[in-house]
Copies of this chain bind each other. A is one copy, B any other.
Amino acid sequence: MLDDKKCKCENLIFTMNLIAGHVKKMSGDLDIKSVSKFVCKLVSAKKDLFRVFIMGAGRSGLVGRSFAMRLMHLGFTVFVVGETTTPAVHSDDIVIAISGSGETPSIVSLGKITKDIGATLITITSNPRAALAGISDITVKIRGRTGDLDEEGYLERHMKGEYRTLTPMGTTFEISTMIFLDSVIAELMVLIDATEDDLKKRHSVFD
């Protein structure tokens, strides 16, 4: 049986605060210029009926799907790369790639195909120096884990060996990207004048 003292969930609470702090910092960090380009491109997609394709591997792909679902709720023509009824990309389409490292092989490879076709490639990444950003029309940098190392108490407790990495691998990037993209949805709702009721009308009736 599990030792009760071990179940105080100290690391759990500490991690939640670590992430909350990270999200706060991230909003100050954002390069508004590239974010504005990204948002404007989406507004034009809605107005001029350009199609939006979203892709990402693993948990980044799941965050991308969350965003795709909200874009659908907002009335966009949007597809998730790899799903059944996703058609061929054309030159006037917009492809959004999500990759923390910016080096995920399958996503880099699809990014290259996107540019060969002549479509617009937008990358959300922690690493704007990587391959994917290099070929993208717009790159939005989302702060990943590096910044957490100076979080109050984190490094000190880590050194004592009290706990190991609290946000393993891409966790910080994935959460931050989800929050960023949901904030993009909030901005889009104002810009294209959509209410929550408009979204609800498009929400699947089959849940």
The 14 sampled A-B contact pairs (Cβ below 8 Å) are A2-B43, A12-B39, A13-B30, A15-B186, A16-B26, A58-B203, A71-B85, A72-B84, A82-B82, A83-B85, A87-B202, A88-B205, A169-B199, A169-B203
Q: What 7 pairs between A and B have smallest CB-CB spacing? A: A57-B207, A16-B27, A20-B23, A15-B183, A12-B187, A15-B186, A20-B24
Report which of B17, B163, B182, B187 forms a contact with A9, defined as CB distance below 8 A: B187
B-binding residues in A (CB < 8 A): 1-2, 6-9, 11-17, 19-21, 23-24, 26-27, 30, 32, 35-36, 39-40, 43-44, 55, 57-59, 62-63, 65-66, 68-73, 78-89, 104-107, 109-110, 113, 117, 163-169, 171, 174-175, 178-180, 182-187, 189-191, 194-196, 199-207
- How many copies the complex holds: the figure is 4
- Which residues of chain B are within 8 angstroms of A70 by Cβ–Cβ distance? 59, 168, 171
**Residue of B whose beta carbon sits closest to that of A86:** B204
- Which residues of chain B are within 8 angstroms of A55 by Cβ–Cβ distance? 206
Secondary structure type dominating chain A contacts: helix
Query: Are A203 and B83 in contact, CB atoms less than 8 angstroms apart?
Result: no
Alpha-carbon distance between A24 and B180 when the two chains are bound, in angstroms: 17
Query: Are A163 and B190 in contact, CB atoms less than 8 angstroms apart?
Result: yes
Alpha-carbon distance between A15 and B186 when the two chains are bound, in angstroms: 7
Query: Are A72 and B44 in contact, CB atoms less than 8 angstroms apart?
Result: no
Alpha-carbon distance between A178 and B179 when the two chains are bound, in angstroms: 10
Q: A27-B16, A106-B106, A187-B15 are in contact. Are A84 and B69 (CB under 8 A)?
A: yes
Alpha-carbon distance between A86 and B205 when the two chains are bound, in angstroms: 10
**Residue of B whose beta carbon sits closest to that of A58:** B207
**Residue of B whose beta carbon sits closest to that of A44:** B2
Alpha-carbon distance between A106 and B30 when the two chains are bound, in angstroms: 34
